[in-house]
Chains A and B, each alone.
Chain A
Amino acid sequence: MKPRNLTKDQIQKLFLSALGFVALIYCYFNFFLGPLNKTRASMIVAIANVQTKTDSSKAEMKKTANLEIQAKEATGRYEAFKATTADGAPIAWFPPKMRGFFADLGINKVSARLESSTDFKQKELSDWVKDTWAIDLPQSEYGDLGRAIAELENSEPLLTIQHVVIHAVPDDPQYQQVSLIAQTALLKK
């Protein structure tokens, strides 16, 4: 092939073309394709994050639904326990409740007073309070007393009798004088 001799003008034009080419490449990658690829990459990462969050939350919701099924019995029981606490301050309703309870079983003149009120040590029972009550039964027959205590223990699952003192009444040996110390777990309201 016969080599061509380029004129000065042609060399200048070639140089100009090469410069244009470089400028085009630079602008294209820096101002067009680069930012576009960057945006796309960040969007892919964002999609992955959102997808992970959505998937994990769906799993969480499924777990909660399973937990709901498992906790059905516990929820029922918990509601029953909560129902043992009446509205208002316990000092206002517990003594009349005890008076009425024992009166129904033939034991009258019953009095109950609050000895102490403390929180439970267990963190699971942070919503509950442990009240200690002194219940005095000044006159009771032994049979009535036994029946009443059995009824009390069966009907009040969150009541625990800690201390029982029974004394025969000296003037009337048929009757006993009874003092009970009972602990109750009551819902904080």
Chain B
Amino acid sequence: MALQLNLLHEEITEERQRKRDPLKLGVIALCCFGALLFLYYGWNAYRTIQIKSRLNAAEHEWQRTEPKVTAAQKRAAELRQIIDGTKVLDGMIENRFYWAPFLAQVSHCVAPNLQVTSLDGSVLEGHHSVAVALEGLAAAREPRAAAEEFRQLLTEQLEKTYGEVTVTFRTLEDLETTVNLSGVSTPSARFILSVNFNPKRGDTAKTEESAKAIAKSK
């Protein structure tokens, strides 16, 4: 076996020591780790930029939508006010009492030997009741009977249209003076009728017809 002599022993050892320098190795390791961290940071930054662009797009859309939404909200409030207002006004129209059909019915009940001299009617608060006072003269051989006949006829006629009808005499008195009825001197009586009833719906359509009927009856 040949003998080998390492004449560069010291230089090789130095070289090895330089290669194994912990600071140098640490710096290399640090650089590698730093590079990894940088890459990871880059990846995160890229994701953040993407999210930022999404946020910008969403904000842009919101800025585009916001004026429309504000206008829509304003319009919705306006529409609700209109709908509610119309409902209340419709209710008022539905619940109002129509006088023309009532006047027509009264005129239908007045016989030739009867004269209504005064009519005073009111719709009571809440529109649930109507009160009317009718004053007039009845002329017949039995004037009280004529007045009673009028009362009954009026009750019958009003009950066809209205509810809870009450027609009562407030006053019924014979008059001393006689009335000339078709050339015949006839006894007369003065009466005041108190009429109360609850109006019912469905008078609107009849109003026109009733007006015509009043015109015809006169």
Contact = CB atoms under 8 A, between A and B. Distances in A.
A57 B69 contact: yes
B58 A78 contact: no
Contact of B99 (A24, A54, A142, A149): A149
The majority secondary structure among interface residues of chain B is helix
Residue of B86, B87, B119 with highest tally of chain A CB at under 10 A: B86
A185 B89 contact: yes
B99 A13 contact: no
Given A40-B47, A68-B79, 5 more contacts: A6-B22, A51-B58, A54-B65, A146-B214, A147-B212
A20 interface: yes
Residue of B25, B30, B59, B211 with highest tally of chain A CB at under 10 A: B211
Given A143-B215, A150-B211, A124 B81 contact: yes
Interface in B116-149: 116-123
B44 interface: yes
A105 to B, nearest CB: 10
Interface size class of B (residues with CB under 8 A): 35 or more
A146 B100 contact: yes
Given A24-B33, A54-B62, A124 B85 contact: yes
A115 interface: no
A32 to B, nearest CB: 6
Interface stretch (B4-12, B70-78, B172-180): B70-78
Interface of A: 6, 10, 13-14, 16-18, 20-21, 24, 28, 32-33, 36-37, 39-40, 43-44, 46-47, 50-51, 53-54, 57-58, 60-61, 63-64, 67-68, 70-71, 74-75, 77-78, 81, 122, 124-125, 127-128, 141-147, 149-151, 153-154, 157-158, 160-168, 173, 185
Interface stretch (B151-159, B160-168, B183-191, B202-210): B202-210
B59 A147 contact: no
A74 B84 CA distance: 9
Contacts of A37: 44
Given A57-B65, A58-B65, A150-B100, A142 B58 contact: no
A14 B22 contact: yes
Given A16-B23, A61-B68, A50 B62 contact: yes
B29 interface: yes
9 contacts: A47-B55, A50-B62, A75-B79, A77-B86, A78-B86, A160-B96, A160-B123, A164-B103, A165-B121
B75 A143 contact: no
Contact of A16 (B26, B90, B212): B26
A44 B52 CA distance: 9
B30 A147 contact: no
Contacts of B59: 50
A95 to B, nearest CB: 20
Contacts of A150: 98, 100, 207-208, 210-211, 214
A80 B85 CA distance: 13
A112 to B, nearest CB: 17
B124 to A, nearest CB: 9
Given A146-B107, A150-B100, A165-B119, A124 B88 contact: yes
B218 A142 contact: yes
B86 A74 contact: yes
A58 B72 CA distance: 10
Nearest to A32: B41
A163 B122 CA distance: 4
A147 B215 contact: yes
Nearest to B214: A146
